[in-house]
Amino acid sequence: MDYIERVRAQWAERLPDVDTSPADVGARVRRIAALLESEMSDDLAGRDVTRAELDVLTALRRSGRPLRAGEITTMTGSPGASITKRLDRLERAGLVERAVHERDKRGVLVALTAEGEALVDEVFPRQIEHERSALADLPAAERAELGRLLAVVLRRLDPKDY
């Protein structure tokens, strides 16, 4: 019996008329996400970078070009004010730099510094390895099916096209 099954059994005793079967998926997804986030936090310990700040850095790295703050907001799904605070902190840490857009003097572009790029290139593969390890007991076909099914749920909850 796993943690979610124990929780569902407890709820069945307290609220027997409530169907908790959706927790078979929802609660497990949240628990898996929390455990993976904990592993990533451990990887970031001592680097003075939060998980949310790493999201900004990885958005910049995968885009392959400098981005406007609004683009980072869209890519990360974080509020603009949060992105501004993260960018301020990342700039002070020497991981990103801001520059005025050449054609639009009002626009500011954000780019990774060499140090920021090196951090992402070191930490991101570890994140993938944590995820690979979590899925190790599933054959490739089942991993693909799980990914496909979760994408269906995600599209229902987050219909924005990023």
Query: In this predicted structure, what is the pLDDT of residue 161?
Result: 61
Confidence of residue 100 (pLDDT cuts 50, 70, 90): confident
Average pLDDT, the chain: 93
Question: What is the per-residue pLDDT for 97?
Answer: 97
Contacts of 50 (CB under 8 A, 6+ apart): 44, 86
Please tell me the pTM assigned to this model. Answer: 0.85
pLDDT in tens, 119-157: 999 999 999 999 999 999 999 999 999 999 999 999 999
Specify the pLDDT at position 107. Answer: 77
* Whether pLDDT at 103 is above 80: no
pLDDT beyond 60 at 162: no
Closest by alpha carbon to 96, among 78, 109, 79?
109
The sheet that has 108-112: what strands, in order across it? 67-68, 108-112, 96-100
Does residue 104 register a pLDDT over 70?
Answer: no
Report the distance separating Cα 94 and Cα 39, nearest Å: 25
For the stretch 88-99, pLDDT in tens is: 999 999 999 999
Distance CA(100)–CA(16), nearest Å, equals 61
Q: For 14-43, what is the mean pLDDT?
A: 95
